[in-house]
A = this chain, B = another copy of it.
């Protein structure tokens, strides 16, 4: 599994609806509305690059109200101890 963190800017009037549309997507585990220069941060879990491509170029393309996205691939996780939690990218 590949974890990605996506920074999202949305139309001001559609921040909540964009968050809900993203959160409803199968590959999206969490979406946070945040303070600062971005509006949302989405945590994405995909099988690999092609799955991420399909998500970006097709699923996200259908979401109304997104102004801009910037996807960061999570390369390695650093944490005190291995938690079997949401961010757990445990292998299948």
Q: Which residues of A contact B (CB under 8 A)?
A: 1-5, 12-16, 19-20, 22-24, 29-38, 41, 43, 45, 48-50, 52-53, 56-58, 60-62, 66, 69-80, 83-91
Contacts and interface: CB of A to CB of B under 8 A. Distances in A.
Contacts of A13: 61-62
A73 to B, nearest CB: 4
A12 B74 contact: no
Contact of A12 (B15, B36, B69, B79): B69
Contacts of A83: 85-86
Given A15-B57, A61-B15, A84 B90 contact: yes
Contacts of A71: 35-36
